[in-house]
């Protein structure tokens, strides 16, 4: 992805000024969709902290939710209000109803989604019928997964990859997509 440093700096400068008043701050700039057992303490957690340090407002369930929050209300609301989604795919991602539901909602809402394939190849991701989902849900999840697999994303091998380079690439991708959404360049 080509960088446009001046555009990103300008966005951050305007964004940080815009976010000084709580009323104008959206509940979520970036929704981080992930499988907790695989990535919450690594990729997803690092992305959350890194985006926060950039004065963005990321949503990560374990950081933004508190006891008593209704899962679907809080998560679905954050997805509907976010500008960009980051889907962190991992080996156990497709085993989670919540991951697939969030991904489907991001796609159905026509959000800009940046796939991150962490320790998994896109071709290895498949929705499996384990008997807990209806045929309609399975079709919905399969469609969303295929959409994500055919979207240009980032790949990362956590055992061999350069973590700082990954964070830089992910940040650049998110910032560039936020700028495009803000400027109306991206229209679903």
Residues acting as catalytic residues: 102
Return the DSSP state at 51. H
Read out DSSP for 68-80?
T--HHHHHHHHHH
Q: Where are the alpha helices (DSSP H) in 26-134?
A: 36-39, 43-53, 61-64, 71-81, 97-108
First to last CA, the chain: 20
Query: d(Cα 149, Cα 123) in Å, to the nearest integer?
Result: 8
Closest by CA position to 86, among listed 185, 169, 3: 169
CA angle 116, 140, 134 (to 5 degrees): 125
* Bridge partners of residue 85, in order along the sequence: 31, 113
Query: d(Cα 119, Cα 38) in Å, to the nearest integer?
Result: 9
- Phi, psi at residue 90, to the nearest 5°? -145, 175
């Amino acid at each position: 992805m080509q960088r446009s440093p001046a555009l990103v700096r300008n966005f951050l400068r305007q964004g940080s000024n815009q976010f000084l008043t709580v009323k104008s701050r959206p509940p979520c700039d970036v929704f981080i969709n992930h499988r907790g057992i695989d990535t919450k303490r690594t990729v997803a957690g690092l992305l959350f902290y890194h985006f926060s340090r950039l004065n963005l407002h990321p949503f990560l369930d374990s950081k933004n939710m508190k006891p008593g929050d209704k899962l679907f209300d809080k998560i679905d609301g954050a997805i509907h209000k976010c500008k960009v989604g980051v889907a962190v795919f991992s080996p156990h991602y497709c085993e989670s109803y919540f991951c697939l539901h969030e991904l489907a909602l991001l796609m159905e809402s026509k959000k800009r989604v940046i796939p991150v394939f962490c320790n998994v190849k896109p071709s290895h991701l498949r929705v499996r019928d384990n008997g807990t989902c209806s045929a309609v849900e399975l079709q919905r999840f399969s469609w969303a997964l295929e959409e994500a697999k055919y979207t240009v994303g980032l790949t990362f091998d956590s055992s061999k990859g350069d973590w700082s380079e990954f964070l830089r690439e992910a940040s650049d991708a998110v910032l560039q997509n936020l700028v495009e959404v803000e400027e109306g360049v991206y229209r679903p």
